[in-house]
Amino acid sequence: MSTSAQDQHSFGSPASGMTRSYTSPRTLFGIVMTLLAGACLIIALIPLFLVLFYVLTQGASRLNLDLFTKLPPPPGLKGGGVGNAIIGTLMTVGIGTLISLPFGVLAAVYLSEFSKGKTARWIRFATNVLAGVPSIIAGIFAYGIIVVTMGGFSAVAGGVALAVLMLPTIVRTTDEALQIVPQDIRWASVGVGASNYQTVLRIVLPAAIPAIITGVTLAIARAAGETAPLIFTALNSPFWPRGIWKPTPSLSVLIYNFASVPFEAQKELAWAASFLLVVLILLTSILARWATRKSVY
Amino acid sequence: MATQAQNSPAGIQPRSKTEKTLDQAFVWLTRILALAVAGVLIYVAVVVGIRAMPAIAKYGLGFLFSSAWNPVNETYGALPMIYGTIVSAALALLFAIPLGVGTAVFLSENFLPLSVRTPLIFMVELLAAIPSVVYGLWGIFVLIPFLLPIGGWLHTNFGWLPIFNTPLRGPGMLPAAIILTIMILPIITAISRDSLGSLPPDLRQASLGLGATRWETLFRVLIPAAFSGIVGGIMLALGRAMGETMAVTMIIGNANNLNISLLAPANTIASLLANQFAEASGLQVAALMYAGLVLFLITLIVNVLAELIVRQVKKF
């Protein structure tokens, strides 16, 4: 019976075998790796806190009514605001939303309601690839189709570029929102004699609306912060916007231009504009999380 | 007796012709718009390709290997920008992969209670939502001043290495790579966390049941099983890093010449476009469109591969 005794010895007694030895290499390895992974998380969060800290402290000090109602000051002068850029951002983002919202929602309706199999797979694939297209490429696309043909920089060109960037987000979120709607209510609708468009427009879309609105809001917030596609489509302007076919200022392009200007007043406005954008995005992200918790069915 | 007649099968009115057409029209409308979403991708390529034609005809493939960018003589070559795009993205991946995967592991396993994990996950994702131009602003006023002494130290102590043979004077490749790291981290973290989280729990339990520790399970079972998903996430991040424009433009220095030193100013294709497009005319527009087409094709290939890899994973 010596072998079995030896076996037992090599495994240790039951009691000591089940306790973790804090000096065994396996445990030490685990502790070291846990610390390393925790350090990764902390390092990942440091820039977030630093960016938020600087934007909130630098931007908040410049927060007053003038910021929303005045034009940026000429170089060297103090005061002023970013009122024209706020309106310009609303204009370009508004045009982008007007184009991409009906387009994206109806395309998603086809994907989730009427398509089957292969076509839908390919379209979803293309949508995901479109989501990865660099924003500056959307800019040169809009430049190529609007700025060149219409003969000038305009809010419309900026809006088209933003629409290209918003489209995949809207299609994807709407598609997902529609798929969550239970199948039963479609059958119920068809069962009482509704046609396809009645089922979709009166039953399925209303049921998915909270999730769709959430997705669209996130897309709009993201578009409001986009800069690259605007710097050569909507360009910029130091004046109040004068129409959708004229060069149009925006908060993001203003930040870009004022970041490299050697005047203190302009730098302050750049931080203040960043503050507005970041607060907008923070609020929409938090609201979106809160809104998606509720569901209609 | 009208109600009774309606209730009987014979009383059901066939759908009117207009209603049928309307219904068909609606389905077709959505179908056309869905196809148009895919069409946008092709349309972008066609528009950029056509506008690039004059430059493609004049410079051909030599454009990719020449390093002169001189609008005055109308000589254009994109090599320094292609180099800058690839090096900045590669450096960013080098920093972001360990950080991102480490964060993902920490957030997907039970190291922390759920009530702590959920807000942390939200905060990491918030990193992705902050506009690029805000990172650029922060980079100019906070990151670069912070990096100057570090760059100086690297240059004095490791200046014999070609990659540190110039002093850091402000904007440059290294600050740009660090900003890119911060910007692609959430993508790697989110997708790695998803792929780790979607593994069947049996896998983890079986490994733990055999007596493996948590980290042995992670390294020998979970990470290998989620590997393709993690690689897909890294590819998506690579695509994003190569196309990222504003933050990089603001802190890379925009020098249109090739410099091997990471502390020297450099340029990327996206930054070149951001800097020159608004003031370009004639052949310069075509040359910029050509550079844009190159960027579009590179990111397209990376994104398609990423999409295929991620899709492969979802089959499980």
At B277, the amino acid letter reads F
Cβ neighbours around B2 below 10 Å, total: 7
Q: Where does residue B115 rank: exposed (0-12), middle (13-18), buried (19+ CB within 10 A)? A: exposed
- Identify the three-state secondary structure at position A133: coil
Q: Please tell me if residue A152 touches chain B, with a CB cutoff of 8 Å.
A: no
Cβ neighbours around B119 below 10 Å, total: 9
Q: Please tell me if residue B289 touches chain A, with a CB cutoff of 8 Å.
A: yes
At A96, the amino acid letter reads G
The answer to whether B124 touches B186, Cβ cutoff 8 Å, is yes
* pLDDT score of B73: 82
Most B CBs within 10 A among A20, A27, A110, A196, hence the mutation to make, goes to A110
Residue with tokens 């100019």: B140
Which residues in chain A are closer than 8 Å to B17, comparing Cβ atoms?
A: none
B285 pLDDT more than 50: yes
* pLDDT score of B273: 93
- Report how far residue B198's alpha carbon sits from residue B204's, in angstroms, rounded to the nearest whole number: 12
Most B CBs within 10 A among A227, A248, A253, A267, hence the mutation to make, goes to A227
Q: Please tell me if residue B303 touches chain A, with a CB cutoff of 8 Å.
A: yes
Mean pLDDT taken over chain B = 88
Residue B37: closest C-alpha in chain A: A127
Partners of B75 in the beta sheet? B70
Which residues in chain B are closer than 8 Å to A171, comparing Cβ atoms?
A: 37
Residue A102: closest C-alpha in chain B: B33
Q: Please tell me if residue A87 touches chain B, with a CB cutoff of 8 Å.
A: no
Q: Which of A51, A132, A138 is nearest residue B236 as measured by Cβ atoms?
A: A132
* pLDDT score of A297: 58
Which residues in chain A are closer than 8 Å to B141, comparing Cβ atoms?
A: 54, 267
* pLDDT score of B4: 45
pLDDT, tens digit, 9 for 90 and up, residues B26-43: 999 999 999 999 999 999
Q: Please tell me if residue A164 touches chain B, with a CB cutoff of 8 Å.
A: yes
The answer to whether B149 touches B58, Cβ cutoff 8 Å, is no
A196:B27 CB<8 A: yes
C-alpha R_g of chain B: 26
For B17-32, what is the mean pLDDT? 89
- Report how far residue B99's alpha carbon sits from residue A19's, in angstroms, rounded to the nearest whole number: 32
Token pair in block for residue A192: 């009482």
* pLDDT score of A7: 45
B18 pLDDT more than 60: yes
The answer to whether A142 touches A193, Cβ cutoff 8 Å, is no
Residue B247: closest C-alpha in chain A: A256
In 3D space, the residue among A95, A245, A250, A251 whose CA is nearest the CA of residue A166 turns out to be A95
* pLDDT score of A237: 87
B243:A133 CB<8 A: yes
The answer to whether B269 touches B85, Cβ cutoff 8 Å, is yes
- Contacts with B, A 36-65, CB within 8 Å: 36-41, 43-45, 47-48, 50-51, 54-55
Cβ neighbours around B275 below 10 Å, total: 18
A227:B246 CB<8 A: yes
Q: Please tell me if residue B185 touches chain A, with a CB cutoff of 8 Å.
A: yes
Could you tell me the sign of the dihedral formed by the alpha carbons of A18, A21, A26, A27, in that order? positive
10-residue mean pLDDT series, chain A (297 residues): 44 56 84 92 92 91 85 82 92 95 94 87 92 93 91 92 95 92 90 88 90 90 92 89 90 91 88 93 86 63
In 3D space, the residue among B84, B179, B244, B133 whose CA is nearest the CA of residue A260 turns out to be B133
C-alpha R_g of chain A: 27
Cβ neighbours around B122 below 10 Å, total: 12
What is the pTM assigned to this prediction?
Answer: 0.89
Residue with tokens 């700025």: A147
Residue A42: closest C-alpha in chain B: B103
- Report how far residue B279's alpha carbon sits from residue B281's, in angstroms, rounded to the nearest whole number: 7
In 3D space, the residue among B141, B143, B169, B135 whose CA is nearest the CA of residue B155 turns out to be B169
- Report how far residue B130's alpha carbon sits from residue B94's, in angstroms, rounded to the nearest whole number: 22
Query: What are the backbone dihedrals phi and psi of residue B253, each rounded to the nearest 5 degrees, phi first?
Result: 100, -20
B248 pLDDT more than 90: yes
B44:A133 CB<8 A: yes
Partners of B266 in the beta sheet? B253
Q: Please tell me if residue A77 touches chain B, with a CB cutoff of 8 Å.
A: no
Residue A130: closest C-alpha in chain B: B41
B261 pLDDT more than 50: yes
DSSP A134-184: -HHHHHHHHIIIIIHHHTS--HHHHHHHHHHHHHHHHHHHHHHHHHHS-HH
Beta carbon pairs, A and B, within 8 Å: 270
Q: Which of A34, A38, A235 is nearest residue B278 as measured by Cβ atoms?
A: A235
The answer to whether B173 touches B81, Cβ cutoff 8 Å, is no
In 3D space, the residue among A132, A276, A40 whose CA is nearest the CA of residue B108 turns out to be A40
Cα A287 to chain centroid, rounded: 13
- Contacts with B, A 227-266, CB within 8 Å: 227-228, 231-232, 235, 252, 255-256, 259-260
* pLDDT score of B313: 66
pLDDT, tens digit, 9 for 90 and up, residues B156-174: 999 888 889 888 888 999 9
DSSP chain B: -HHHHHHSGGGPPPPPHHHHHHHHHHHHHHHHHHHHHHHHHHHHHHHHHHHHHHHHHHHGGGGGT---EETTTTEE--HHHHHHHHHHHHHHHHHHHHHHHHHHHHHHSTTS-HHHHHHHHHHHHHHHHS-HHHHHHHIIIIIHHHHHHHHHHHHHHHTTSGGG-S---SS-HHHHHHHHHHHHHHHHHHHHHHHHHTS-HHHHHHHHHTT--HHHHIIIIIHHHHHHHHHHHHHHHHHHHHH--HHHHHHSB---S----TTS-B--HHHHHHHHGGG--THHHHHHHHHHHHHHHHHHHHHHHHHHHHHHHHT-
Q: Where does residue B279 rank: exposed (0-12), middle (13-18), buried (19+ CB within 10 A)? A: exposed
**Confidence tier at B6 by pLDDT (50, 70, 90):** very low
**Confidence tier at B70 by pLDDT (50, 70, 90):** confident
First to last CA, chain B: 59
Complex-level ipTM: 0.88
